[in-house]
Amino acid sequence: MNKTILLVTAIILAINFQINAQNKTEKPLMVKGLKSYVFIPQGKALVDKKEVEVKAFFISKYEVSNLEYREFLDSLKKNNETEKLRFAQIDTIQWNKMFNNKFNEPLVIYYDKHPAYNHYPVVNVSYEGAVLYCRWLTEKYKHINKDKSFTYEFNLPDKQQWIRAARGNKNTEYAWDSPRLLGDVYFCNFKNLGAENIHYNPDTKKYEIKDTFLNPVKSTDITAPVKSYYPNVFELYNICGNVAEMIGEYGIAMGGSWNDSGYDVRVESEQKYQIANPYIGFRPVMTLKMK
């Protein structure tokens, strides 16, 4: 067999391999309920000023909603999984504790239960609750999936996956292709502080944030629906702002929230937390495990 034939044969085998791999990747997305997950191809991500290679994975287009999380809680109740339910329960009283007033009582009562908030991101969920939700999804799709040659595995994203999904192939400050927060409209849900809010205190020699008539700091704005603003290059919504998103590392949430200023809703913005609170939610990643 001459060199030309060997080369042609090698090319054909490579093409067939790629087609088969692609088919194995795309076929699972035909399973009911996974239309909201998008494929993130293998690529590089700039993490802590170092470029790292990230393997391919799938991620939800949206932050987990109240409606989706209620389905999970209802399943735990139905199956009498009281220990898991204890960790997974939504700590609604945090709406009052975090703001130190009673004006948020309607949110305590209605935010996670009322149909009007069905498609808003779930908040006041613990890290343990988010992990249990991902495990529940894994078990759920183990039963739904009819093709037993592979299984789905859901998890909280690691930091590299989250940044790769947020930025794509560009090293931008935000999840969109602009260094700014405002185009024709705002690009995300964040606390909009303008120059009119900044005051220099000559006694303390520090800058302070002040209310103004046109731009009050103590806004009543909260989260936005999970499908809001413009998606990024991978069709992910609210990857910056809205709610900071938990990652696999306990106590760290990425991307900033509706209560954070513009600098703190960058892709690499990290928010530390110890308990559930109104600023933090999550979105799962999914990987395929071939049998």
- pLDDT, mean of residues 96-102: 74
pLDDT tens-digit map of 156-185: 999 999 999 999 988 899 999 888 888 778
Task: Choose among 180, 179, 183, 158: nearest CA to 170.
Answer: 179
Distance CA 125, CA 128 (A): 8
Residue pair 101/220 in contact by the 8 Å Cβ criterion: no
- pLDDT, mean of residues 128-147: 92
pLDDT of residue 26: 46
CA torsion sign for 90, 91, 93, 98 is negative
pLDDT of residue 207: 63
Can you give the pTM of this predicted structure? 0.84
Label residue 197 by pLDDT band (50, 70, 90).
low
pLDDT of residue 39: 94
Distance CA 29, CA 81 (A): 29
Task: Choose among 239, 217, 213: nearest CA to 228.
Answer: 239
Q: How many CB atoms lie within 10 A of CB 85?
A: 17
**To 5 degrees, how large is the angle CA 241–CA 62–CA 72?**
115
Domains of the chain: 31-290 (3.90.1580.10)
Distance CA 32, CA 152 (A): 13
Tokens of 249: 């590392």
Distance CA 282, CA 284 (A): 7
pLDDT of residue 98: 78
Whether pLDDT at 2 is above 70: no
pLDDT tens-digit map of 226-283: 999 999 999 999 999 999 999 999 999 999 999 998 999 999 999 999 999 999 999 9
pLDDT of residue 21: 42
Region label for 290, one of left (φ > 0), alpha (ψ between -120 and 50) or beta (otherwise): beta
pLDDT of residue 101: 63
Tokens of 245: 């998103």
pLDDT, averaged across the chain:
84
- pLDDT, mean of residues 141-148: 83
